[in-house]
Amino acid sequence: MYLLDTNILSELMKKSPNPQMLSRLRSKPVHSLFTSCVCVSELRFGCSLRADFEDFWSRINREIISRINIVALGQKEAVLAGDILAQISGTDEEVAMDDVLVAACAMANQLTMVTDQVERYAGIKGLAVENWLAP
């Protein structure tokens, strides 16, 4: 079971998505693919900066959002996010709040985080991370 980070979802929207990533994605049952509501908000934000906002957002909805499970932020995710912040507090690890929330969604739901930005999550103990874009 996998939580796809925003950069993985964005890769799907490219004219020529990474073939290795597409192969990994196609090898997984659709019921095992998730993303966070935080990633959906990041996609929406990025989309809003485009001249073709409405058309591109419709495409994202049709080709991505409608095809995967969305993990909401609930109490268990919020509590875990607080635990993650406490864990990294006072360390050299700097993790943005949106990344903490996405990681909490993955961990609270026993999902492996799939991201091209593995280093962002390196300081979060207990988070399983895979990079499907790495050669």
Which domains occur in the chain, in start order? 2-130 (3.40.50.1010)
Region of 112 please: left (phi>0), alpha (psi -120 to 50) or beta.
beta
**What pTM, to 2 d.p., does this model score?**
0.94
Q: Which residues pair with 71 in a beta bridge?
A: 36
Q: Output the tens digit of pLDDT for each of the chain's 135 residues.
A: 999 999 999 999 999 999 999 999 999 999 999 999 999 999 999 999 999 999 999 999 999 999 999 999 999 999 999 999 999 988 877 789 999 999 999 999 999 999 999 999 998 999 999 999 988
At 115, list the tokens. 């991201």
CA distances from 89 to 29, 82, 85, 86, 124 (A): 37, 10, 6, 5, 11
> Own/partner pairs for 43-51, CB < 8 Å, 24+ apart?
43/6, 43/9, 43/10, 46/6, 46/10
Q: Indicate the residue type of 12.
A: L
Predicted local distance difference test score (pLDDT) of residue 56 = 96
State the Cα–Cα distance between residues 50 and 129, nearest whole angstrom.
30
C-alpha of 55 from chain center: 22
Predicted local distance difference test score (pLDDT) of residue 91 = 81
Please tell me whether residue 114 adopts helix, strand or coil conformation: strand
